[in-house]
Amino acid sequence: MSRRDIIEARLAEGRQIIAASLAVEFNVSEDAVRRDLRALAAEGKCRRVYGGALPLLTLSQPISTRIGQASDRKKALARAAASMIQPSEFVFLDSGSTNLAMVDLLPKNSELTIATNSIDIASAVMKRGDFPLILIGGAVNLIVGGSVDATAVTAIENMNIDRCFVGACAVSAKNGISVHEHADAIFKRTLIKRSTSRIAMATSEKFHERAPHRIGGAADIDWLIVEADLPGGDEEAAVEAGFALMKPNDITSSS
């Protein structure tokens, strides 16, 4: 199977293509990989994005798959997010792989109370053993990795949350923040309403993802934490749309 055939097969599986990684894998230049991607895009088989390509249709992947993807990049975002938490806050960690990365980075001896609808996040917080934990119950959505049904929505409607970290599948200057699952969108909209401070994190490829269910726009999120190398065009569009952006290096330079 040729290099281009392999790339096409991976795109068909719904996988993101990163040019630099493929160049190392196949021992070729990034320009060679980019030529393959341009050809595939011209044939309507992928969407070109900064650093690589995405499938034409982004497939909803279960949380078990997403946890292992781009872990170093997600940890950088999670570290910036964790640094925003203040002592004694009631913090909600929405289901998501980047929010899961926050758990080990939560400040010690900070007297936090953690609530989550995520099975994986609840398990990680429980293993730490140093924070009171509230697990939101209900039917578990395998794609989301937690409960987002009517039972879960009712539970958070009765909470006064100091700071929530809401998950996002796609970010757009035009459409705001969106997710793939309808019930998840309802849950997140309610979570935003019940929280004083609302924060979302997004790796750069999410600015080129598409998801059908909108949870809110710039006015609904206090901070959007993005990667340090977010392409200038995406950054400018987000700022023009009203998003308050924060990058990991902003935290480092101010500390």
Confidence of residue 252 (pLDDT cuts 50, 70, 90): very low
Q: What is the pLDDT of residues 231-244, one digit of tens each?
A: 899 999 999 999 99
- Gyration radius (Cα) of the chain, Å: 19
DSSP codes, the chain: --HHHHHHHHHHTT--EEHHHHHHHHT--HHHHHHHHHHHHHTTS-EEETTEEE-SSPPPPPHHHHTTSSHHHHHHHHHHHHTT--TT-EEEE-SSHHHHHHGGGSPTT---EEEESBHHHHHHHHHH-SS-EEE--SPEETTTTEE-SHHHHHHHHT--EEEEEE--SEEETTTEEEES-HHHHHHHHHHHHTEEEEEEEE-GGGGG---SEEEE-GGG-SEEEE-TT--HHHHHHHHHTT--EE-HHHHHHH-
pLDDT average, residue stretch 104-133? 95
Q: What is the pLDDT of residues 201-216, one digit of tens each?
A: 999 988 988 888 999 9
- Please give the pLDDT value at position 251: 60
More confident residue, 16 or 200: 200
Q: Where do the structural domains in the chain lie, given as residue ranges?
A: 3-54, 63-254
- Please give the pLDDT value at position 13: 66
As a whole number of angstroms, the distance between CA 94 and CA 100 comes to 9
CATH topology classification for 63-254: Rossmann fold (3.40.50)
As a whole number of angstroms, the distance between CA 59 and CA 211 comes to 10
Q: Provide the whole-model pTM.
A: 0.75
Residues 6+ apart with CB under 8 A from 86: 162, 163
**pLDDT of residue 58 exceeding 60:** no
Confidence of residue 35 (pLDDT cuts 50, 70, 90): very high
**pLDDT of residue 139 exceeding 80:** yes
| In the chain, % of residues over pLDDT 90 | 65
- Please give the pLDDT value at position 222: 98
**Residue 49, beta-bridge partner list:** 52
pLDDT average, residue stretch 150-178? 95
pLDDT average, residue stretch 195-205? 95
- Please give the pLDDT value at position 255: 43
Q: Let me know: does 226 contact 199? Beta carbons within 8 Å.
A: no
Specify the CATH number for 3-54; select among 1.10.1740, 3.30.750, 3.10.50, 1.10.10.
1.10.10
- Please give the pLDDT value at position 154: 97
- Please give the pLDDT value at position 57: 52
What is the average pLDDT score of the chain?
89
- Please give the pLDDT value at position 63: 52
- Phi/psi for 199 (5° steps) reads -130, 140
More confident residue, 60 or 122: 122
pLDDT average, residue stretch 27-56? 85
